[in-house]
Amino acid sequence: MKKRVIKTIFDEIQREFVLEKPKDLSFGHYATPIAFSLAKELKKSPMMIAEEICKKFDSNPIFKEVTSVKGYVNFKLSEDFLDEYASWAIANENEFAKDTHDESILLEYVSANPTGPLHIGHARGAVIGDSLYRIGKHLGYDIKSEYYVNDAGNQVDLLGLSIYLAGREHILHVEVIWPQEFYRGEYIVDLAHVASQELGVEIFKDESNIQVLSSWGKDKMIELIKSNLADVGIEFENFVSEKSLYDKWDASFEKLKSSNKTYIEGDKTWIRSTDLGDEKDRVVVRDDGRPTYLAGDIIYHDYKYQRNFDRYINIWGADHHGYISRVKAAINFLGYDESKLEVILAQMVSLLKGGEPYKMSKRAGNFILMSDVVNDVGSDALRFVFLSKKSDTHLEFDVDMFKQEDSSNPIFYINYAHARINQVFAKSGKSITDIKDIKLDDLSEDGANLLYSALLLPEVLEDVFHSRQVQKLPEYLKNLAALLHKFYNENRVVGEVNEDKFLKLFAMVGVSLRVGLNLIGIKAKDKM
């Protein structure tokens, strides 16, 4: 809709212009301040220029009226145009709000260590990433999703040690001395029991088997993580093993050195990351010759850039904020354009239940498991609430809110709007086929605003994706549901003279609710 409007205006004025949306729809659906920017060039007042521009659209069928208000040019869309667009959308729901974009994007998110089940700290980034991926796909971007498996380093070795000691204690019944650092939680004991069945109890009798348990345990945790993600409708196109990438370290390290941005001090190799805004230079190779944690990120981003995407998006936990400048510096030193990398930070989540802190999971060792919350409130509620605020703001919510069947529960409120539309159609005894050719004209102001709002989904999606602010979509859906409820409560539908017209209006709202919910991983409910 907006693209058609922009093209129509440009065809008439042949100038680049800014198109805005007035806060008060009574002024119009769109407005432009172009007259102000032309005043100096044309040596006329903005008001006079605006009046002249308005005359250019006197007979344009897209607009009901084009008016000048204090130098602004306001455009109100015609009922014919809105009706035509609504008719197409209702008949082509699967294509509604789709677009094409010639840009390839690699989107990396979650990337939790494969040492335990997913907890709610991982879940927010997972839901944001998956929703951004769905929206990008819908808008026609060549977007790929990727999970970076952090399976190198001490954490996987520690997983193997923890399983080994749990097996000795709980299966062999041998007294063990636990180290200061190990993975806690009942899932470790569960893993030990599964290992005894699959690998044999002998695995716990010799500490040389710890590496075998590390690799085996990592694979089991990846299976569990995939299952946790599948429970909320998330699947990845690609998994990349950090451990496998270390074979490429020598080549990446040579690229770094060729940039003349590395130096040796105290037998360690550093990169001059302060040259690109980091607070201090960073070590990439320890004094014993082993690459650091940062080296893993360097190899991975070297591998990413070798695949020649137009843009790279990483969704990281907010605690990784300090990594952005050092990783971007390393990308630059590898010879790539670091501005192609965007990092979205996902803040922590605080969970309550009945106003009290949500109970930690013994299975996870004092973490709140994502699977526990999904079992408690359902996938839809978890997804919706994790998208309800900007990702870099702290999120706190009470899970009991999602057991309320009223407007305080946003996902219930939106689903109720969709179910209400189906209910009205059922009462009328009519189908979409019966009303699809009805003309949407002579609507009240509330009806016209409801229709316009339902048709806004395409530009909402464009804004969501360009700004990377996925919370704008659930906000839009909630507002659209509110308009539907208000209109329904103030207007009788079934058996009235405007029944068919209102049914078509409701059908258009239903299309936007279904498509919008689907893009955040939620299937609209037909009955409540």
The answer to whether 271 and 330 have CB atoms below 8 angstroms apart is yes
* Residue 424 and residue 367 in one domain: no
In this predicted structure, the answer to whether residue 460 has a pLDDT above a threshold of 90 is: yes
One-character DSSP codes across 347-394: --EEEEETTEEPPPBTTTTSB-BHHHHHHHH-HHHHHHHHTSS-TTS-
- Average pLDDT, stretch 93-116? 95
Residue 133 belongs to some domain of the structure = no
pTM exceeds 0.85, yes or no: yes
Helix (H) or strand (E) holding 504: helix 499-518
Amino acid 24: pLDDT: 85
The answer to whether 129 and 107 have CB atoms below 8 angstroms apart is yes
* Residue 434 and residue 390 in one domain: no
SS (H, E, C) 171-192: CCCCCCCCCCCCCCCHHHHHHH
In this predicted structure, the answer to whether residue 71 has a pLDDT above a threshold of 90 is: yes
* Residue 512 and residue 464 in one domain: yes
Amino acid 516: pLDDT: 98
What are 467-486's pLDDT values in tens digits? 999 999 999 999 999 999 99
- Average pLDDT, stretch 392-408? 88
In this predicted structure, the answer to whether residue 59 has a pLDDT above a threshold of 90 is: no
The answer to whether 297 and 252 have CB atoms below 8 angstroms apart is no
User: Looking up tokens 């999970």, which residue turns up?
Assistant: 147
How many CA atoms does the CB half-sphere of 460 hold within 13 Å? 24
* Residue 226 and residue 351 in one domain: yes
Using 50, 70 and 90 to split pLDDT, how confident is the model at 367? confident
C-alpha span between 488 and 490 (Å, rounded): 5
Residue 72 belongs to some domain of the structure = yes
* Residue 392 and residue 363 in one domain: yes
Burial 368-382 (b: 16+ CB within 10 A, else e): bbbbbbbebbebbbb
- Average pLDDT, stretch 347-374? 86
Residue 107 belongs to some domain of the structure = no
In this predicted structure, the answer to whether residue 201 has a pLDDT above a threshold of 80 is: yes
Q: Which residue has the higher pLDDT, 476 or 21?
A: 476
* Residue 197 and residue 340 in one domain: no
Residue 106 belongs to some domain of the structure = no
Q: Which amino acid is at 312?
A: Y
* Residue 391 and residue 427 in one domain: no
C-alpha span between 473 and 203 (Å, rounded): 51
Burial 298-328 (b: 16+ CB within 10 A, else e): bbbbbebbeeebeebbbbbbbebeebbbbbb
DSSP designation for 523: P
- Average pLDDT, stretch 198-212? 96
Using 50, 70 and 90 to split pLDDT, how confident is the model at 15? confident
Categorise residue 204: left if φ over 0, alpha if ψ from -120 to 50, beta otherwise: alpha
Amino acid 517: pLDDT: 98
In this predicted structure, the answer to whether residue 366 has a pLDDT above a threshold of 80 is: no
CA Rg value for the chain = 28
Percent of the chain with pLDDT over 90: 85
C-alpha span between 149 and 115 (Å, rounded): 10
Amino acid 403: pLDDT: 84
* Residue 250 and residue 201 in one domain: no
Provide the token pair at 126.
């997972």
Q: Among 35-44, 136-145, 324-333, name the one with the lowest average pLDDT.
A: 35-44
- Range(s) of the domain holding residue 290: 241-310+319-345
Q: Among 117-121, 269-273, 300-304, 446-450, name the one with the lowest average pLDDT.
A: 117-121
How many CA atoms does the CB half-sphere of 524 hold within 13 Å? 26
Backbone phi and psi for residue 72, each to the nearest 5 degrees, phi listed first: -85, 145
- Average pLDDT, stretch 239-263? 94
Burial 74-94 (b: 16+ CB within 10 A, else e): bbbbebebbbebbbebbeeee
Average pLDDT for the chain: 94
In this predicted structure, the answer to whether residue 357 has a pLDDT above a threshold of 80 is: yes
* Residue 415 and residue 513 in one domain: yes
* Residue 415 and residue 501 in one domain: yes
Backbone phi and psi for residue 325, each to the nearest 5 degrees, phi listed first: -65, -40
What are 410-456's pLDDT values in tens digits? 999 999 999 999 999 999 999 999 999 999 999 999 999 999 999 99
The answer to whether 473 and 502 have CB atoms below 8 angstroms apart is no
The answer to whether 256 and 236 have CB atoms below 8 angstroms apart is no
Helix (H) or strand (E) holding 398: strand 395-398
Amino acid 152: pLDDT: 87
Residue 202 belongs to some domain of the structure = yes
With 0-12 CB in 10 A as exposed, 13-18 as middle and 19+ as buried, what is 13? middle
Using 50, 70 and 90 to split pLDDT, how confident is the model at 264? very high
Amino acid 153: pLDDT: 81
Distance in Å from the first CA to the final CA of the chain: 32
Domain total of the chain = 4
Amino acid 338: pLDDT: 97
Say which CATH number the domain at 210 has: 3.40.50.620
Say which CATH number the domain at 482 has: 1.10.730.10
Amino acid 140: pLDDT: 98
Say which CATH number the domain at 72 has: 3.30.1360.70
C-alpha span between 236 and 314 (Å, rounded): 14
Is the Cα dihedral 449, 455, 459, 461 positive or negative? positive
Using 50, 70 and 90 to split pLDDT, how confident is the model at 285? very high
Count of CB atoms situated within 10 Å of the CB of 149: 22
C-alpha span between 434 and 471 (Å, rounded): 36
The answer to whether 302 and 248 have CB atoms below 8 angstroms apart is yes
Among the candidates 77, 111, 142, a domain finishes at 77
Strand, helix or coil for residue 409: coil
Residue 453 belongs to some domain of the structure = yes
C-alpha span between 397 and 28 (Å, rounded): 38
Residue 490 belongs to some domain of the structure = yes
* Residue 338 and residue 355 in one domain: no
* Residue 336 and residue 368 in one domain: no
Strand, helix or coil for residue 495: coil
- Average pLDDT, stretch 129-136? 98
- Average pLDDT, stretch 151-166? 94
- Average pLDDT, stretch 71-89? 95
Residue 94 belongs to some domain of the structure = no
In this predicted structure, the answer to whether residue 70 has a pLDDT above a threshold of 80 is: yes
- Average pLDDT, stretch 3-26? 89
Among the candidates 356, 376, 402, a domain finishes at 402
